[in-house]
Amino acid sequence: MTVPRSSSNSPGSSPEVTYPGNPGADDRWLGPNLALGLMLLVLHMGLMVGIGSGPSRAFLLAHFGLFLLWQPLWQGADKLVAGRAMLIVLGGAALAWWSSWWLMALWIAVLFSLIGGNVPGMRALRPRLAPVLAAVYLLTVLLVWVVPHITRAFDPQTLLVVFVRYVLPIPLLAVLVVPPGSRNQSPRYPVDLVYSVMLFLLVIVLVLGAMFVQQITQRDYAVSLLQTVIGIAALMLVLSWLWDPRGGFDGVGQLLSRYFLSLGMPFERWMLSLAAIAERETDPETFISRAAEELLTLPWIAGAGWKTDVRSGDRGERSRYSTQFEFGGVDLTLYSRWRPSPGMLVHMRLLARLLGDYYEAKRREQAQRNTAYLQAIYETGSRVTHDVKNLLQSLRSLCSAAAVGSDADPDALLRLIQRQLPQITQRLQTTLDKLDTPRACPSETVPSAEWWSSLVQRYAHEKVEFESTIEGTERLNGELFDSVADNLIQNALEKRRRSPVDRIAVWLERTRDGRCRLTVEDAGEPLSEELVSSLFSVPVSSETGLGVGLFQCHKQAADAGYTLSLDRNETGAVRFVCEPDGAQSAKAATPDGQS
């Protein structure tokens, strides 16, 4: 005996039953419509020969076997355990040997609900034909043949007997010949519990209502059945209007939705609590510990356990009913006070996913904070290192001047050292303050004339042209201009050591808004396009160090409200300009008279 098997594409989806004869089924000799039609034809013959007779029992037993081939309840891939086998044997014995008209009425109502309850889930028209015809047959034979036998209102001399015996099986013959559709539209009968139960109850109400009306009114069965059908139709019409009415009433549909969602009210409160915990706690492990404690406020949760890559723990008590989830790097185990229902499992899965997503977000936030911290350390260290490098260059220049001018003019050398050493000491102290100060402090401004004089003295022994158009009243950011000037001049000097550079010019000019602009130009080879494209955006590896210092200077200038840019990049004219943001002044003349 082959039991149809089901397959599900996703967890929680309705099982799609594959019948013998469908693509993928093991037994292809018996199609789904053929099994359905033969099952009902054999049932019809068992009803026609009379319940309780030997032929009727034989037909009903064969009908039960065909039902097992067609049934959409058990999966064919499952093993037939002893309990299930015993249930099948008892069902067949009860239907065949203990059969009665009451049992037949109940059995036909079950078949009608299994077949008709799955029709709404079929989208294509062709697969619907066979189950619709089968459902019409079952409802008709129940109302015009089985129930009259129960109420003893059956008259064997009427034309209705001829209709039931010889005309009613015609839809079953149509079921046998109806094509099942293409492979993409093959009939599948997912067990829809809600539709099936509703149809079963509707049929039971119709049958019992007709019998009740007949007993009360003492009228014919046909009249009682008609009155019952009219009453049920009127009731369904009123319910359909109350489901979504007009005139301010929420409707039965809204009330039912609120009722079914009432389970989620504690869940919604927990969501608000989870959001509040996420705002307070920044550490991921502390957050998940607090969230697990908050889970215990839900009425159906007895305890919760979690495990992450870093830590594990539990809260509450462990019950016999546990459900495990894994989302966002968190293995969460929830212990419920009673066996979780499907609706509760949906809520559990949702809250576990939310907890995992929040935890993953906290981990990303922590990683971003660590990255930002390391980036701040890198930028501070890089800037301080570059400042120390500039100070070292100044000390080398001073030592070079001392070596050259010690014999020629000792007094001039002494005056140079007396002027430069305090400035170098002050700059070194400022560099050390950057390491001690936890946050950036605004740089002090110095008189432009004093800063310019110090710059000229530092590079007096180098072949660098200096020219200034300032009037002496301007003030500038000494830390920024020291860093930019030293970097640009040292890069130009390094270029001169590698290749002939006839001229290195530095000039300071006044912008229209009263601030200062620094320009450094050399007459060497232009920078490559690849270097220019990333000169100020990222640190650039270079043998001379060009790029890393300018990257730091560019950020320092941006923080101070200035811009550092490559103004010209030609053979014989490579010019860098450091100027205030939005400077609208005209370019000052270069030392050689070119604009």
Q: Can you state the angle between helices 54-70 and 32-48, rounded to 10 degrees?
A: 160
Please tell me what DSSP assigns to residue 459: T
12 pLDDT above the threshold of 60: no
Q: Is 162 helix (H, G, I), strand (E, B) or coil?
A: helix
Residues 6 or more apart whose Cβ sits within 8 Å of residue 441: 433
pLDDT digits (tens, 9 = 90+) for 327-382: 878 888 888 888 887 777 877 888 888 888 888 888 888 888 877 766 766 666 66
Spatial distance between the Cα atoms of 88 and 559, rounded to a whole number of angstroms: 83
Per-residue pLDDT at 188? 47
Comparing 577 with 272, the larger pLDDT belongs to 577
Element holding 394 (H helix, E strand):
helix 342-405
CA separation for the pair 127, 33 (Å, rounded): 9
452 has pLDDT over 50 = yes
460-518 pLDDT, tens digit per residue, is: 777 888 988 887 678 888 888 888 888 888 888 888 888 888 889 998 988 888 788 99
Whether 224 and 197 have beta carbons less than 8 Å apart is answered as no
Cα 5 to Cα 71: distance, rounded to the nearest angstrom: 10
Residue 212 has pLDDT above 60, yes or no: yes
446-595 in CATH: which number? 3.30.565.10
Place of tokens 């020291």: 482
Is the model's pLDDT at 186 over the cut of 60?
A: no
d(CA 117, CA 197): 8
- What is the rounded radius of gyration, in angstroms, for the C-alpha atoms of the chain? 46
Residue 110 phi, psi dihedral angles, 5° rounding: -65, -45
pLDDT, average across residues 40-47 = 91
> What pLDDT, on the 0 to 100 scale, is given for residue 409?
64
Q: Distance (Å, rounded) from C-alpha 382 to C-alpha 538?
A: 13
The DSSP call for residue 166 is I
Exposure string for 498-522, b = 16+ CB within 10 A, e = fewer? eeebebbbbbbbbbeeebbbbbbbb
Mean pLDDT, the chain, integer? 76
Q: Is 351 exposed, middle or buried (0-12, 13-18, 19+ CB in 10 A)?
A: buried
> Terminus-to-terminus CA distance in the chain, angstroms?
100
538 HSE (CA, 13 A, CB side): 6
CA distance 119 to 121: 5
Distance (Å, whole) CA 104 – CA 207: 13
- Residue 30 CA from chain centroid, whole number: 45
What confidence category does residue 78 fall into, taking pLDDT thresholds of 50, 70 and 90? low
> Residue 433's pLDDT is what?
66
Give the per-residue SS3 of 10-35: CCCCCCEEECCCCCCCCCCCCCHHHH
Domain boundaries, the chain: 5-243, 261-365, 446-595
- Phi, psi values for residue 318, rounded to 5°: -90, 125
Instruction: Give me the mean pLDDT over the 321-332 stretch.
Output: 86
For the chain, the residue count is: 595
